[in-house]
A and B are shown apart, each in its own frame.
Chain A
Amino acid sequence: MADQVLNAEGLNCPLPILKAKKALKTLSSGQVLEIRATDPGSVADFQAFCNQTGNELLSSSSEGDIYKFEIKRS
């Protein structure tokens, strides 16, 4: 269960990443942010974002047109 949910549906690059970063800053280490997006580019981008920032991408999945990501703050 995520500690916070970010709705980034309808937003295009780079907004899902910028909003996720902002939301992660409000969490403490170990807490989980769930992001829901519709931008297909966000699948590759959240992977790259997590590789670079050291936050852990717990899951990356899709249901219909919605992409769901869970990121654990480092």
Chain B
Amino acid sequence: MLDNGDLENAKSMSIIVTKGSLDWAYPPFILGTTAAAMDVNVTMFFTFYGLPLLKKKLNMKFTPLGNAAMEMPMMGGHMAMPNLLSVMPGVGGMAGKMMKNLMAKKGVASIEDLREAAVESDVRMIACQMTLDLFEYSKDDMIDGVELGGAATYMESALKSDINLFI
């Protein structure tokens, strides 16, 4: 297997990660790690609510609120998760727990595992400096290997990439 990372014709992808809830954390990490496994150079730029996904200790929440079409498998059928319910105390926490249990049961990787795979496969992870300042995080809150940068840093990478995603 060639290490395409060193080749001029290697493919590359960039992803802007803007959301940090449990469900929204999956698409960027699944695509980022899979692309890296397929010898694609991957850059992930974490900004706004996506930034906490780089924190050493992850604490992702999940809510059915705003996911109007969401259904959970339930006793052989599917149960809608009405938005109205999600404003009741405790429902958000319950939905998060249900989702994590379901994922574990179905052999879906945890975000922690996928993030570790991203680090191992040399995915370039950039924390947005402005978001860091805005929400008062420090680089010490973040996992090792994270770079700091801004819009221009992202653009330089995006202009050279074959695929650019905003998630």
CB pair B109 A25 closer than 8 Å: no
- B: contact size bracket: 10 to 19
Q: List the B residue with the shortest CB-CB distance to A51.
A: B38
Specify which chain A residues have a CB less than 8 angstroms from the CB of B109 in the assembled complex. 11-12, 14-15, 18
Q: Interface with A: B15-23, B29-37, B128-136, B141-149, which one?
A: B29-37
Q: List the B residue with the shortest CB-CB distance to A9.
A: B107
- List the count of A-B residue pairs having beta carbons below 8 Å apart: 49
Judge whether B68 is part of the interface by a CB distance below 8 angstroms.
no
Specify which chain B residues have a CB less than 8 angstroms from the CB of A22 in the assembled complex. 120
CB pair A14 B37 closer than 8 Å: yes
CB pair A15 B107 closer than 8 Å: yes
Q: Assuming the A-B contacts A52-B39, A53-B39, are A14 and B34 also in contact, with contact meaning beta carbons closer than 8 angstroms in the complex?
A: yes
Which of B38, B106, B113, B121 sits near A53, CB closer than 8 Å?
B38
List the interface of chain B (C-beta within 8 A of A): 1-2, 30, 33-34, 37-39, 106-109, 113-114, 117, 120-121
